[in-house]
Amino acid sequence: MRPVVYLVRDLVFTARIREAAERLGVPVEGTRDAAACVAAARGARLVILDLRLADAFAALESLARDPDTAAVPTVGFVGHDAVDVMQTARALGCREVLAKGELASRLPRLLGEA
């Protein structure tokens, strides 16, 4: 089974991703920066990005340019009040941009669908 890759540094949210994935039997791989995220995304089923990280935008740009990762779905999250960040992420090709709370509630479904 192809993994879900994530670029998230928030330890609480990282734990949520790992727990949800474990319950569903979905492998996950955490990454520390944009380059590692793109490398891990080759063959991934989904990439989750914390849009509060500067590396997230670099990762989105690289994922879109790389023919091996351009078709991998991306989901970004940020606080609900960061409208400009949400718009930038969409412009860079992020498939879904969600508020952090919404991602937390939809995480099991997103992991299961990917």
Indicate the domain borders of the chain.
Answer: 4-113
Query: What is the model's pLDDT at position 114?
Result: 63
Is there a contact between 74 and 94 (Cβ–Cβ < 8 Å)? Answer: yes
Q: For residue 99, what is the enclosing H or E element?
A: strand 96-99
Q: Environment class of residue 24 by beta-carbon count within 10 Å: exposed (0-12), middle (13-18) or buried (19+)?
A: middle
Distance (Å, whole) CA 6 – CA 25:
16
Confidence of residue 30 (pLDDT cuts 50, 70, 90): very high
Fold of 4-113: Rossmann fold (3.40.50)
pTM over 0.75: yes
Position 113 pLDDT exceeds 80: no
